[in-house]
Structure 1
Amino acid sequence: MNNLFPIFIKLENLHTLIVGGGYVGLEKITAVLDNSPEATVTLVSPEIRNEIREMAEENSRITLIERKFDENDFQDKDLVIVATNDKEENRRIKEAARSLHILCNVADTPALCDFYLSSVVRKGNLKVAISTNGMSPTMAKRLKEVLNEALPENLETAMEQLKAVRDMLKGDFAYKVDELNRITSVLVKKK
């Protein structure tokens, strides 16, 4: 059973620390910035891939620190993503993060994660996150492909129209919810 609480975080208001500058570190920083282009990210690693360096050259919100992780790197950080290939180091970083009450994701180690990075489907302002509870990122990736194909491209227009209707509705919150539910019921009626 998946007991995870789905949440969308405004990373532009937080400072994210990524530990690890290899392929997985590249994957994680790319995921963060693809979803939150205004995020502030500090990446710490003794070795940093050229693709990450190129990203940092083009984005002033990325800071690269080319050395081994130090617990002082947690200072002023709100979230940490660990992407090293050293399992003991990953565990040590996770324990240090926990002691400071900093949420931590350790790549490919669900037992050490406070949160998972989800597979994401985007259509304009619609964003759907997919979780398999850390069991199968491959399944999440396939579901993403299915949803990308299934969701129409004109969802943005429909959402703009519904927002305009919501803004025009008078009455209390319950009335507005009932009206919007009535208007959108056509989306879920079986044929």
Structure 2
Amino acid sequence: MNTSKSSVKNGYYPLLLDIVQRPCIVIGGGKVAERKVKILLRFGAKVKLVSPGVTNALRLLAQKGKIDIVERYYRATDLRNVSLVFAATDDEKTNTRIRDDARRRNIPVNVVDNPDLCDFIVPSIIKKGPLVIAISTSGVLPLLSKKLRQEIDAVVTRDYIRYADTIGKFRQYIINHIEDKKVRRDMMKRIGRMSMEELNGMGLKEIKRMFLQSDK
């Protein structure tokens, strides 16, 4: 893997990963590492943290059994059997060594505040119910990502969450109960043409009844 300044010109390939119960490691024990850990936990990762010192918040997470902490300096062997690596120490040489060790093992690595050393960067994230919106300036201007996140967050109201949740449940229902794929596609197209106001004004049972009766 290799990332350079060309990433700014070409941009990063956007990708949403399923990290539920996937082993991820964060090296570092400060506030930046704390933020990384909290985001990983929010998306269901299994987190190990390595650092000779940690914040009180990180220690509390460990006491609650949410993360594993190894209180010592980083070793290359810490990268065994992990899916993602986050180098979040305050020492540039250590972060570079972590990057090199991860790449030798073909493990994607993120180095905080140094896009040139990263295989991937973590975008500014909005997560509401099933909706996940990622915003990035390719590491050029994080403040702009934050500003855009705040503006979009204000627009994405509870109505959107309910809308997405209802469609998601209906989709799962027809997958489980209707074998004909063409009928499934037609139903999803029809429900997709309904406005958010229409769907949110109906319960899931009413939507099922309306669609299934019309196809008899």
Q: TM exceeds 0.5? A: yes
Per the TM alignment, residue 64 of structure 1 is displaced from its structure 2 partner at its CA by: 0.5
RMSD, aligned α-carbons: 2.3
Residue in 1 that maps onto 2:22: 14
Conserved in 1, the CA contact under 8 Å of 2:53 and 2:71? Answer: yes
User: Would you say 1:151 and 2:159 are equivalent positions?
Assistant: no
Structure 2, unmatched stretches of 5+, are: 1-8, 198-216
Residue in 1 that maps onto 2:62: 56
Q: Which runs of 4+ in 1 moved over 3 A?
A: 163-171, 173-186
Q: Distance in 2 between matches of 1:8 and 1:96?
A: 24
Per the TM alignment, residue 15 of structure 1 is displaced from its structure 2 partner at its CA by: 0.4
Residue in 1 that maps onto 2:114: 109
Q: How does 1:169-180 map to 2 (within 5 A)?
A: 171-172=181-182, 175=186, 178-179=189-190
Question: For 1:128-172, what per-residue CA distance to the aligned partner results, in whole angstroms no more than 9, with x for missing partners?
Answer: 011110111111111111011111211122123323554548643
May I ask how many residue pairs the two structures share in their alignment?
A: 183
User: Would you say 1:78 and 2:83 are equivalent positions?
Assistant: yes
Q: Distance in 2 between matches of 1:7 and 1:108?
A: 20
Q: How does 1:153-168 map to 2 (within 5 A)?
A: 153-163=158-168, 166=171, 167-168=173-174
Q: Distance in 2 between matches of 1:149 and 1:73?
A: 40
- What percent of counterpart residues are identical? 30
Question: For 1:18-59, what per-residue CA distance to the aligned partner results, in whole angstroms no more than 9, with x for missing partners?
Answer: 0000121112112222x31x321110011111111011111x
Conserved in 2, the CA contact under 8 Å of 1:2 and 1:132? Answer: no
> Equivalent of 2:50, from 44, 48, 51?
44
- TM normalised by structure 2 equals 0.76
Greater mean deviation of Cα atoms: 104-113 or 148-157? 148-157
Per the TM alignment, residue 178 of structure 1 is displaced from its structure 2 partner at its CA by: 4.7
Residue in 2 that maps onto 1:97: 102
Q: Distance in 2 between matches of 1:31 and 1:164?
A: 25
Residue in 1 that maps onto 2:147: 142
Structure 1, unmatched stretches of 5+, are: 187-191
- SS of the residue aligned with 1:154? helix
Conserved in 2, the CA contact under 8 Å of 1:124 and 1:155? Answer: no
Residue in 2 that maps onto 1:68: 73
Q: Distance in 1 between matches of 2:60 and 2:35?
A: 14
Report which of the two structures shows the higher radius of gyration computed on alpha carbons.
2
